[in-house]
Amino acid sequence: MAPSIRLSPATRSLFDEPLAIAVQGLGPRQPVTLRTSLRDETGQLFQASARYQAGDDGELDLARCPALPGGSFSGLEPMGLLWALQPQKPFWRLVKRDVQSPFLLQLEVFEGHGEPPGRLLAQAQHERAFLRDGVRRIPVREGRIRATLFLPPGEDTFPGIIDIHGLGGGLSEQRASLLANHGFVTLALAYYQYEDLPQKPTELRLEYFEEAVNYMLQHPQVKGPGIGLLGFSKGGELSLAMAAFLKNITAVASLNGPVATTRIPLCYKDKTIPILTEYEQHMKVADSNILDTCDVLIDPFQAPGNQSLIPIEKAEAQLLFIVGQDDHVFKSEYHATELCKLLQAQGKENFRILSYPGTGHCIDPPFFPLWPIGNHPVYHRRAVLGGEFGAYAKAQVHAWPQIRAFFQKYLNDK
């Protein structure tokens, strides 16, 4: 029997779902190298490889066989060939711009553990999709709002979530689209550098975000009476501010979000929250002229009466802080921990922290590869984001269902 690759699901799976990979028809204890390849929408190539040895029966099941040293990873890692994908172009990030088309994953099995690999024994293709059949993607241009709405299949009402990304501008749909597959009406919301929104805002007005909240609450398929917010980095900060100042916010999940206003002042009605002071002299420069901005922001808890702190004690929402212990953009774990101490001192119990070792600033849905060094949107230079491959992969897989369960719990109340 010629070697062949067996996948489950066979031809197509959602990007945040596990993919079972096995090879059959090998010789007893035959050494092989498995390689995965994927091109993003710009044509950039990502690859991972791992060395394995088939069992006595010529079968190789990645759920049972550990990878041997010498590849992109080692040990028992059934999804390693996906989370270990690395760009051929240094510092390139895997992102999905058009969520309506899948990524095409190539899998190959080669003879032996050589470098370069030996003879090709088997190959297969698999689609990694972002939208389940029946999920609808609807561009939103209502009033000032610039966004994309994702509706789960069917005519029921569903919990509603606004997904807000970090500094860097534009509109990112990959996380919102994946959430919609799990039964949430999600609104991926842009707030600058997109279409006719400001290119370089000197302030951000919460009235814009309030308009998005009202849009969601008026949608016939959004189950009220409140909505959820999922924010990453600056988006986490904005989500906390929305919960402090706006009505009808029931649950907020912040992914490595500051708890004070940073870099762009925040305004609501006649109130302005000024930005935290930054000390650029505290910037460190790592190897190859790469910035480390971890110590640049002043500690918002050291200055009594700091005007930049978001008055989150006003929020009635449930709060979930998801933080990476190796975040090099700012001290996100410290921010979340100190804020929760303040809330606790005021007798509040509406918060929870999930803290992940070996995890940097970016926390994506499962199986997105780590992006440890990226382009800093403020300093326009490469900067350390942090994280370690294996630890980050485990954090993603743990955090994603926790986020969904959090929203299911608090947005499905009567």
Range of the domain at 115: 4-129
- The residue type found at 325 is Q
Average pLDDT over residues 371-379: 87
Q: Is the pLDDT of residue 79 over 60?
A: yes
pLDDT at 341: 96
State whether 46 and 162 are in the same domain: no
Q: Out of 114, 129, 144, pick the residue that ends a domain.
A: 129
Angle between helices 234-245 and 206-218 (to 10 degrees): 70
Average pLDDT over residues 100-112: 98
Reported as type and span, the H/E element at residue 40 is: none
Write down the number of H helices and E strands in the chain. Answer: 6, 24
Averaged confidence pLDDT in the chain: 95
pLDDT at 277: 87
State whether 77 and 154 are in the same domain: no
Instruction: Considering the candidates 327, 332, 364, 376, report the single residue annotated as catalytic.
Output: 327
pLDDT at 414: 47
For residue 110, the domain's CATH number is: 2.60.40.2240
> In whole angstroms, what is the distance from residue 90 CA to residue 86 CA?
9
> In whole angstroms, what is the distance from residue 157 CA to residue 224 CA?
9
State whether 163 and 301 are in the same domain: yes
Comparing CA positions, the residue from 367, 114, 363, 43 lying closest to residue 230 is 363
Q: Out of 129, 159, 178, pick the residue that ends a domain.
A: 129
Residue 20 — φ and ψ, nearest 5°?
Answer: -85, 125
State whether 251 and 222 are in the same domain: yes
State whether 14 and 157 are in the same domain: no
Q: Out of 96, 129, 162, pick the residue that ends a domain.
A: 129
For residue 321, the domain's CATH number is: 3.40.50.1820
Looking at the structure of the chain, the number of domains it has is 2
The label of the residue with tokens 């743990």 reads: 398
State whether 120 and 184 are in the same domain: no
State whether 203 and 125 are in the same domain: no
Q: Is the pLDDT of residue 158 over 90?
A: yes
> In whole angstroms, what is the distance from residue 57 CA to residue 318 CA?
53
- pTM value is 0.96
Instruction: Considering the candidates 233, 239, 254, 332, report the single residue annotated as catalytic.
Output: 233
State whether 161 and 111 are in the same domain: no
State whether 69 and 97 are in the same domain: yes
Q: Is the pLDDT of residue 288 over 80?
A: no
Q: Is the pLDDT of residue 377 over 90?
A: no
State whether 76 and 212 are in the same domain: no
Average pLDDT over residues 4-16: 98
Reported as type and span, the H/E element at residue 365 is: none
pLDDT at 413: 67
Reported as type and span, the H/E element at residue 71 is: none
Q: Is the pLDDT of residue 93 over 90?
A: yes
65-75 pLDDT, tens digit each: 999 999 999 99
Structure-model confidence comparison of residues 284 and 163, the more confident one: 163
With a pLDDT cut of 90, the percent of the chain lying above it is: 89
pLDDT at 8: 98
30-62 pLDDT, tens digit each: 999 999 999 999 999 999 999 999 999 999 999
Average pLDDT over residues 116-128: 96
Reported as type and span, the H/E element at residue 388 is: none
State whether 183 and 302 are in the same domain: yes
Indicate the pLDDT class of residue 357, thresholds 50, 70 and 90.
very high
Average pLDDT over residues 284-306: 84
**Torsion sign, CA atoms 377, 362, 331, 353:** positive
pLDDT at 302: 87
> In whole angstroms, what is the distance from residue 192 CA to residue 198 CA?
5
CA dihedral 345, 346, 349, 350 (to 10 degrees): -120
State whether 118 and 73 are in the same domain: yes
Active site annotation includes 327: yes
